[in-house]
Amino acid sequence: MDSYGDLVAADDVLLFVNAAITSTGQREFHSDADEQRLSLDFLHAYMLGNYRDLYAGVLALDINDHNAALIIRRLLETPGEATVEQRRNEGRLIAARLAVLPPQRVYALFDALRRAGVNNRRTRAIMRDWLSGRRDLAFDAVKYRSGLKRALRHAHLAPATEELGTFVFAPTTRPHYATPLLEAWRRAHYEQAALYELPYTAAEGFAARHGIPRDVFLERIAPRMTRLETLRLQESAHGRRAAGVAADLAAMPLTRLATYVLSLPVEDRRRRRTELTGALEAAAGRVAGAHRGSWGRVTAVLDDSFSASGSVHKRRRPLAVALACHHLLAALAGDYTALWTSGRTDALLTRPYGPTPLGRRLLDALDTAPSRLVIVSDGWDNAPPGLAAEVLRIWRTRLDPDRRTSIVHLNPVYDAADFDVRRLSPTVPTAGIRDAEDLPALVELAQFAEGRTGLSELAAYMDARAARMTTGRHPQEEAR
């Protein structure tokens, strides 16, 4: 049986995991960026100082990229505080996590280590191994040349080839490159056609230099754009299709797709209902996979109150997570009921509006006699305040003490003041969520927040996730 200290440690780890999933140090609806950063920095320092092994193990969970990079940086900054065995385990976790981080995030991490003067042997070895594992360093040299150059210098590494070294450190001194992509970059300085052989972000600067009209450039560069670049461009067009750019919505990740759908005016959503609904259902089906239809009778309470509008940095992000979870739960359930806090029944047209009557919606949800109840909300129950907590308390202690109905609260917003995501009730487990794709794993993780399992079970779960990540493909990995 776990000791009291072990139970406290388990609570501390779960609190940190919730923060690492939801917070990116940016402004949220109820707290500004400074509050978010200070709160998050404290948790990182606390975890590193008290639970170094578990702190490193969090890299194997579904935390966001911002916090993964912070964990890696803090581990590499403090090698003297770790044993040989800890450094070995940390090295494996760091390498596995770096392999699935976006390359721009990794180069930014390496640059942060450079600015902090972190240049120990382990750091240099990790940088060397990551760079040697890149599929196409010529691509990196064109798209992330400054980051690559600083990384090579900081780690005292020689470029893979003499030609690559010339391109990274003195790109305009060579009259010709044998590598096609490097040669295209050289020719793009004076030949417009060559820029369409480059990655979108590199070609964009050349297009501006040559004075190419934006619509002409986008139409011709479209085949070179990644899925996320295409979707991001459509989002920035505020719902209007960018000329010559048409994203394959059915192939988009579920939460990104939900974000895009919510960026569209309501009239556009109505007009494109079949297309958008089909894309959301296809994305949800891919995430559900073999578990489709296996969750039995599921009811969801989904928060579309005004606070779901997020912040200037995360516009409509909480609502996008709720919309994505709605479609994923519909795919996972055998029998599904969705209840939005606003009372709306058309998920595609949802928008952030009004107060948060979670308590009333929970009463409606429990009337459906679900085997599983999932609540997706920032936890600010205010119509009337406290009703949701009282409903859940009475349900758990008096009406369903045997827990025939499984209840979990998923919260997409970090509450900086409480160093955690805001909870509805101590009788119901709460887990932070950033992407709906992580919902099945988070529902599994939430069992540890109920207090019925302790540190030993949590550590075993994290060890299993670490083993899975370090021996195979991590579920977050996406094509470049």
pTM reported for the whole predicted model: 0.83
In whole angstroms, what is the distance from residue 54 CA to residue 11 CA? 12
Helix (H) or strand (E) holding 40: helix 33-50
Provide the pLDDT for residue 158: 92
215 vs 32, 41, 219, 229, 244, CA distance in Å?
Answer: 37, 43, 6, 16, 7
Degrees, nearest 5: CA angle 95-99-105? 105
Query: Which pLDDT score is estimated for 116?
Result: 95
Domains assigned to the chain: 259-268+270-453 (3.40.50)
What's the DSSP call for residue 411? Answer: E
Angle at which helices 4-22 and 65-77 cross, to 10°: 120
Per-residue pLDDT of the chain (480 residues; tens, 9 = 90+): 456 677 788 888 988 999 999 887 776 765 677 788 898 999 999 999 999 999 999 999 989 999 999 999 999 999 999 999 999 999 999 999 999 999 999 999 999 999 999 999 999 999 999 999 999 999 999 999 999 999 999 999 999 899 999 999 999 999 999 999 999 999 999 999 999 999 999 999 999 999 999 999 999 998 888 877 887 777 665 444 454 555 668 778 999 999 999 999 999 999 999 999 999 999 999 999 999 999 999 999 999 999 888 876 678 899 999 999 999 999 999 999 999 999 999 999 999 988 989 999 999 999 999 999 999 999 888 878 889 999 999 999 999 888 899 999 999 988 777 677 888 988 888 988 989 998 998 887 877 776 555 688 888 888 998 998 888 654 444 333
pLDDT for 365 equals 96
Cβ contact 391:371 at 8 Å: no
Residues 295, 271: contact at Cβ < 8 Å?
Answer: no
Q: Rounded CA gap, 184 and 222, in Å?
A: 17
Residue 22 CA: distances (Å) to CA of 27, 41, 363, 386: 12, 14, 27, 23
